[in-house]
């Protein structure tokens, strides 16, 4: 998700506004609601991932190293087994692999 998207999924229901909207329903229920905490009109609630997490999922991962890159020439000398699907030797610490 992006900042832009984040803004659009913003839930920002001003509690003060909701108090007004639903005061009639509270009367109907026969119970007066508790007062809202201080600062409620300043509070914007977003459903879902926090902005920090939303940024993380949209990493562009571009860093310029792609420029004119040769996608057919490996940047390493071929290692044993490279380029094949044959099984390599058992790893040194895993006799039971």
Give the per-residue SS3 of 54-70. Answer: HHHCCCCCCCCCCCCCC
CA torsion sign for 13, 14, 17, 19 is positive
Interacting positions 2-21 with another protein (CB under 8 A): 2, 4-5, 8-9, 11, 13, 15, 18-19, 21
Interacting positions 35-54 with another protein (CB under 8 A): 35-40, 42-54
Q: Could you count the other beta carbons within 10 Å of the beta carbon of residue 12?
A: 11
Write each residue from 56 to 95 as x if it is in contact with another protein (CB under 8 A), else as -, in one continuous string: xxxxxxxxxxxxxx-xxxxxx--x-xxxxxxxx--xxxx-
| CB of residue 74 to another protein, shortest distance in Å | 4
| CB of residue 80 to another protein, shortest distance in Å | 10
| CB of residue 62 to another protein, shortest distance in Å | 5
Q: Which residues have C-beta within 8 Å of that of residue 40, sequence separation ≥ 6? A: 14, 15, 16
């Amino acid at each position: 998700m992006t900042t832009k998207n984040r803004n659009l999924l913003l839930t920002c229901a001003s509690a003060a506004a909701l108090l007004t909207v639903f005061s009639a329903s509270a009367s109907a229920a026969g119970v007066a609601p508790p007062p809202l905490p201080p600062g409620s009109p300043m509070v914007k609630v977003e459903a879902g991932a926090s902005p920090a997490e939303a940024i993380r999922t949209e990493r562009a991962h571009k860093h310029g190293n792609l420029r004119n890159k040769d996608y057919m020439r490996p940047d390493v000398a071929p290692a044993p087994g490279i380029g094949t699907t044959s099984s390599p030797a058992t790893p040194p610490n895993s006799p039971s692999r």
